[in-house]
Amino acid sequence: MTGKKLGRREFLKLMAGAAAGSALAACKPQIVKETVVVEKPVEKIVKETVVVTEEKVVKETVEKVVTATPVPRTEVSFWGNPLPRYAENIARYLPRFEEEHPTIKATYVPYPDEGEAKFLAMAVAGNAPDVRENAGSNYWNHVRNDLAMDLEQYYSDLPRAYMEDWSPRFLEWLRARDGSNSIWGVPMRSLHMVLLYNASLFDEVGADYPLDWNHDEYLSEGAKFRKEEDGRVVRWAGHSIVKADLWFEQKLKAFGGNLVDPEDWTRCALGEPESQEALEWLYKAIWEDNIWPQTAQIENYWYAPFDSGGIASQECASWIIGVWYEAIQERFRWDFAPYPKGPGGTRAANAGADCWTMWSGSPHPDEAWELMKWLVSDDGEICMMEAAGSEPARHSLYGDWYEIMKKQFPLMAEDTNWQAFEQPMAEGFDYITGVFADPGIAGEILNPALGQFIDAGEVTPDYFKGIADEITAAVRAEYG
Amino acid sequence: MVRASAPAATGRRRLSLKTKEAIAGYLFISPWLIGFVVFVLGAMIASLVISLYKTNLLSTFRFVGFDHYLGAFQDRLFRKALSVTTYYTFTVVPLQTISALSMALLLNQKLRGQGTFRTIYYLPSVVSSVATISVWWWMLNPDVGLINTILAKIGIDPGPRWLLSQQWALPAIILMAVWGSGGSMLIFLGALQGIPKELYESAMLDGAAALRRFLHITIPMISSTIFFSLVMGLIGAFQVFGASYLMTEGGPNNATLTYVLYLYRKSFQQLRFGYASALAWILFVILMFFTLLMFKSSDVWVYYETELRK
């Protein structure tokens, strides 16, 4: 006896019926069980006649009806700080953004290695992140190459309090140089340059704390710290990563000089007398008095031996605090001072140039803007402050920052001059990193020259007069 | 009258066996062929087209013709990169070949622990380049590095400032490259072991000394391997990137600015893809020139056992 074979038509009918049934089943509202934590009064008999009512935290299982058809949400992604603590903070705080914006799904991606090359490839492919961290010359690189969205139309949507809270110098820096109102970023954080100093070492050599140093005192007091052992220098007065243009420019600014002419970003100002004076100071500190280490004298130029007491002071920003705190612990007392004054008694402190930008090709600019607004809100700022230790972009949040720093670094909770970081913004001597119209072309000429000056000591400050002319000519030839 | 009609013509021509086999062959190599066409040939053609434009591949596309090619030779840094790379290549390749051949000759002896020594000499070429660079960075430190410490012990104090010196930075990178010639050493070892022993026995019977045997038997018999090593070495050396990118970033003062590092900067850092593509094609032409030159010269000095010379 043979069974009837399932023909093609019957099979197709069967499959269609199964598919329709599944679709209907999926549409049916589902009942899900969810565990919630509630507080409810519970009576407890203490004695026979005494009944005590107390609030007790219990867990209850409740049933919730969930519609099977989810509300469509627009997905936006952002590249943020890659520190694990930032990821934890984002996991904690981002749901608040999504509660306030139920139609937006925001995804955080840690800023990847080789991020710039990856971002470029993704931009060409059409799937770059909607929002990302940006900074300094890279910001202007993105602007020049139409990678960043002009946010001018969105800026009026920002709370007025934010506009008054951010450094006006930062907002000015973010704006177009052609006088238009275009602006492509929102301030992300501050990284004010201060002087970290080993207070215990200052006590040991009998030097006054550098709370109000000028650069002459920097040199004269600095000589007290230099120490040699077996013909090798093992301790210096200070250090700064002046091979990097941000730190290099900081030194020029302290003397009233500039790397980039503030009025003309096609002109290099290294030839000006104030800049030359700063270069003379650097040359003396590194190559004549050697109160700053030469590159070959220390194992790691980018992380000088401040934690081992090899360096009495370091010019840096708040991002390094966590690194040194872990390494130093209670071995010695260290503190912060404002960046030393220049010859005229003026101060200047770099504030960094870290900002959030939106990709110009973002398919959801409005939603991405909502995410950017959240990133610069109190929640967004706290995520960054708690994770990276960096200061807020908004002045009013410095109170929160102090609390966060004292909590994260309990050994420095008392008797530490945290205010040194706020001082530049409070007193108006903060400035934003200078940028050439074509940073790539300028860097090709400047970086080798810095190497000759800082690493090798093969050239003297005069050399930079020619370099300044060369940079100006090259930038103007390319930029027009 | 019935006219006999010709048989109806068939609708399809039957393929010959040769054609069928050819089609089958192409089908077998089609995966590689498709990959080559799309990812290599296609990319090369795209690069050639891009080199004729001033572009950042995003928003700017301006046709400039051969301006990039002509402009390259006016570019001071291009000339510097080309001279640095040429110096590097024509120093590293002979040194690596001599070093690899010397090690292979030593390891071709029947000695105890031969396997261990082969491993030791081969290890540098399997260590990741980043790890190698990190180790050499420390070894080349002018103050605390191992090399200058040894030099100080033999009376050379102070030693060279190596990566911090314009004069010594490139020799330092060359030294590191020669240290990593274990891969070529293995290839030479294989070639040496393929030389028939009868040739040496005949030569010894005829009274040939060791040097004569080396020059008239060993070298000719492995000349094809030497040729291969030189060609591959030349192509690889001209494209050196990692050491200069990670150790010196092209410094000090562009003393180690290699061609590909310069190309990388122009493309991925400055987004000048048109110019960078032109640089890539100039490099291609240079490599083709030297490769063809070597192939032409091989008629004179390279011996292949199966070759019939006129």
Quote the minimal CA–CA distance from B283 to chain A in Å: 21
Contact A145 B249 (CB under 8 A): no
Q: For residue B52, give its domain range.
A: 19-68
Q: How many interchain CB pairs under 8 A, A with B? A: 61
pLDDT at A159: 93
- A255 token code pair: 């003397």
List residues of chain B with CB under 8 Å from any CB of chain A: 56-60, 77, 141-144, 161, 164-166, 249-254, 265, 268-272
Q: What is the pLDDT of residue A231?
A: 84
- Answer yes or no: are the C-beta atoms of A334 and A194 closer than 8 Å: no
Provide the pLDDT for residue A94.
Answer: 92
B37 shares its domain with B119: no
Secondary element (H or E) of residue B278: helix B273-301
Residues belonging to chain A:
480
Whether the complex's predicted ipTM surpasses the cut of 0.90 = no
What pLDDT sits at residue A12?
81
What is the secondary structure of A374-389 as a DSSP string? HHTSHHHHHHHHHHH-
According to the model, what pLDDT value does residue B4 have?
45
Domain of B231, CATH number, reads 1.10.3720.10
Output the pLDDT for position A244. 87
What are the residue ranges in chain A where pLDDT is below 50?
Answer: 1-2
The answer to whether residues B77 and B87 belong to one domain is yes
Task: Report the CATH architecture of A194-350+436-479.
Answer: 3-Layer(aba) Sandwich (3.40)
* A409 neighbors A325 (Cβ within 8 angstroms): yes
**B75 and B218 assigned to the same domain:** yes
Q: Do A456 and B142 touch (CB under 8 A)?
A: no
Q: Which of A116, A440, A448 sits opposite B253 (nearest CB)?
A: A448
Do B238 and B100 sit in the same domain of this protein? Answer: yes
Q: CA–CA separation, B278 vs B280, rounded Å?
A: 5
Which portions of chain B are predicted below pLDDT 50?
A: 1-9
Domain residue ranges in chain A: 74-189+353-410, 194-350+436-479
pLDDT of residue A249: 95
Beta strand residue intervals within A121-221, DSSP E? 131-135, 185-187, 189-190, 194-198
pLDDT (0 to 100) of residue A40: 59
pLDDT at B1: 46
User: B290 to chain A nearest CA, in Å?
Assistant: 30
Q: DSSP letter at B194?
A: T
- How confident is the model at residue A41, as a pLDDT? 62
**Structure tokens that stand for B267 in this block:** 């493309």
**Per the CB < 8 Å rule, is A141 touching B254?**
no
Does residue B218 sit within a domain? Answer: yes
Question: Cβ–Cβ of A116/B141 closer than 8 Å?
Answer: no
Going by C-beta distance under 8 Å and a sequence separation of 6 or more, which residues neighbour residue A470? A445
Count of beta carbons in the 10 Å neighbourhood of residue B176: 21
Check residue A61 and give its pLDDT: 63
The total domain count for chain B is 2
- Please give the pLDDT value at position A3: 52
Beta strands in chain B (DSSP E): 53-55, 61-63
B77 vs A contacts (CB less than 8 Å) = 444
Instruction: Say yes or no for a CB contact (<8 Å) between A124 and B58.
Output: yes
CB atoms B144 and A299 under 8 Å: yes
Chain A segment 288-317 residues within 8 A of B by beta carbon are 295-297, 299
Helix residue ranges per DSSP H, A212-332: 215-222, 245-254, 273-283, 321-328
Nearest to B273 by CA among B63, B115, B99, B56: B56
- Residue B128 Cα, gap to closest chain A Cα (Å): 18
**Could you tell me the CATH superfamily of domain A74-189+353-410?**
Periplasmic binding protein-like II (3.40.190.10)
Residues 6 or more apart from B87 whose CB is under 8 A from it? B170
pLDDT for res A245: 86
**H-helix or E-strand containing A140?**
helix A136-144
Say if A448 is an interface residue toward chain B (CB within 8 Å): yes
Q: What is the dihedral of CA B123, B128, B134, B136, to 10 degrees?
A: 40
Residues B23 and B95 occupy one common structural domain: no
Q: Does a structural domain hold residue B4?
A: no
Residues B163 and B41 in one domain: no
Best of B144, B267, B271 to disrupt the A interface by mutation (most A CBs within 10 Å)?
A: B271
* B-interface mutation test, from A120, A297, A454, most B Cβ less than 10 A away: A120
Predicted TM-score (pTM) of the model is 0.78
